[in-house]
Amino acid sequence: MTPTTISADAAGTWQLGDLTVNRLGFGAMRLTGSAAFDLGVPSDRDRSIQVLRRAIDLGVNHIDTAAFYFSPTRSANEMISSALAPYPDDLVIATKVGPGRDASGGWLPPARPDQLRGQVEENLRQLGRDHLDLVNFRRMPILASVSEHVGALAELRDAGLVRHIGISGVDRTHLDEARAIAPVVCVQNRFGVGASQNEHDLLAACGEMGIAFVPFFAVAGRGAERGRAAVAEDDATLTVASAHGVSPAQVRLAWTLQQGPHVLAIPGTGDPDHLRQNVAAAALRLSPDELARLSSPTDA
């Protein structure tokens, strides 16, 4: 099998509530250049449109986005709508609420529970949909509790604007808190090679509960969330990549997917070649020894 024939379904599937998705998905943040995260310049718009369409051709049916993914010249939701509407029947679009930005791109205080409806409606308008498949509440560190925000999303679910609820940037306490209010279909947290024992523990707990775990920055590494490029690849990752004749990024994706059948991956790119490589990682299988060499949790 050549890389061009590998489909995202090579990694298997998972149920997000009543929605079936291939475990290898696509994250839309990088299409805009992610000015809010200082990750670079926007991708060429026409090329980004083609990347989104090619992702669907390669079997991707889970796209992660947010209304606050925008730069002065790009909007992730607008590009998704332009590229893919009318949407394929099996396409699941997950978005996030909680953080907000003003028109110039500056961060606003985290949304209050009563402001989440406006953020949901903003995503609906931009995506051209009458409901959102999955909405993750992205907890910012300033918020100790998620109860009121999850309660607000549960009301929007009851109103038919939201189909399923997820949470992001949380620990086990927040997960238990949210599940006491409404069904939670996924947890979206930072996770990747070098993850801490606490991060591994939360991933395992999600598996025991039948909840999807959706890592972000699994390829870029820890520095990405703080606006820095990923650190230099460690020797173990480079050795495994060389043995398989693949890139370190593909190794990181394969390692992530092999952490459990409930683990999804949402790598993002505006480059067609990188997209193909990311999807090809769905079929990459690492040996138990290779997984062990890469796993060594940190103490953080």
Catalytic: which of 69, 70, 137, 216? 69
Max Cα distance, the chain (Å): 52
Distance CA 88, CA 90 (A): 6
Buried b (16+ CB within 10 A) or exposed e, 240-277: bbeeeebbbbbbbbbbbbbbbebbbbbbbbbeeebbbb
Distance CA 11, CA 209 (A): 21
| Inter-residue contact 248 to 236 (CB < 8 Å) | no
* Helix (H) or strand (E) segment spanning residue 132: strand 132-138
Residue 87 appears among annotated catalytic residues? no
Query: Which of 122, 150, 126 lies closest to 136, judged by CA?
Result: 150
Asked if residue 86 has a cis previous peptide bond (ω within 30° of 0), the answer is: yes
Q: How many Cα atoms within 13 Å fall on the side-chain side of residue 28? A: 32
The distance of Cα 219 from the centroid of its chain, to the nearest Å, equals 11
Q: What's the Cα-to-Cα distance from 25 to each of 20, 22, 51, 61, rounded to whole Å?
A: 12, 7, 13, 7
Which residues lie below 8 Å from residue 77, measured CB to CB, with a gap of 6+? Answer: 28, 65, 66, 67, 69, 95, 123, 126, 127
Distance CA 79, CA 98 (A): 21
Q: Which residues are catalytic?
A: 69
